[in-house]
Amino acid sequence: NVSLTRGTYYVRAKAVDSVGDSSGYTNLGAIYLNRKPNTPTMSSPTASASYADTVTFTVTATDPDSDTYAGSVYLCADAGCSDVRKSLTLSNASSGAQSTNAWTVDIGNGVYYLRYWASDSPMGAPYTNSSTTDLGTITVKGKSPNMVL
């Protein structure tokens, strides 16, 4: 295992036989190393807690390579997050910056599974690196149902 920092690395190889004779180096190309955005911290709501009517979400995120990144918090009706009830988008954070976002949302009663998704785009790279983190659940109760007479 070798620990490398973000950047471009050039790979080359050579063959060595059992008596120590070796070939010349062959250039195999370049690789670009980029790490995923960090797991965010969510200061509110507290996971596994219960709330009434509205919930305020406060999420702070960073990228270990100081790349510009974007992210979203999803409120899902199921653990697999196939039924997204609300999506909260983090504002794009500039390179090296910490992004703190707060939203107050009015959602119906129920248990919500919280999932965070983040993606970064390294400078000049034609691809992104993303991560998904499950942040626990919250329960919303005490909201009066709408009645039509």
Instruction: Give DSSP secondary structure letters for 92-134.
Output: EEPTT--EEEEEEEE--SEEEEEEEEEEEE-TT-SS-EEEEEE
Instruction: For residue 17, name the pLDDT band (cuts at 50, 70, 90).
Output: very high
Q: Is the pLDDT of residue 32 over 90?
A: no
Residue 28 in tokens: 């195999």
Q: C-alpha distances in angstroms, 133 versus 38, 41, 114?
A: 10, 11, 9
The answer to whether the CB of 36 falls within 8 A of the CB of 20 is no
Share the mean pLDDT of the chain. Answer: 77
What is the Cα–Cα distance from 117 to 18, expressed in whole angstroms? 50
Instruction: For residue 127, name the pLDDT band (cuts at 50, 70, 90).
Output: low
Q: Is the pLDDT of residue 27 over 90?
A: yes
The answer to whether the CB of 58 falls within 8 A of the CB of 135 is no
Q: Is the pLDDT of residue 19 over 50?
A: yes
Which pTM does this prediction carry? 0.64
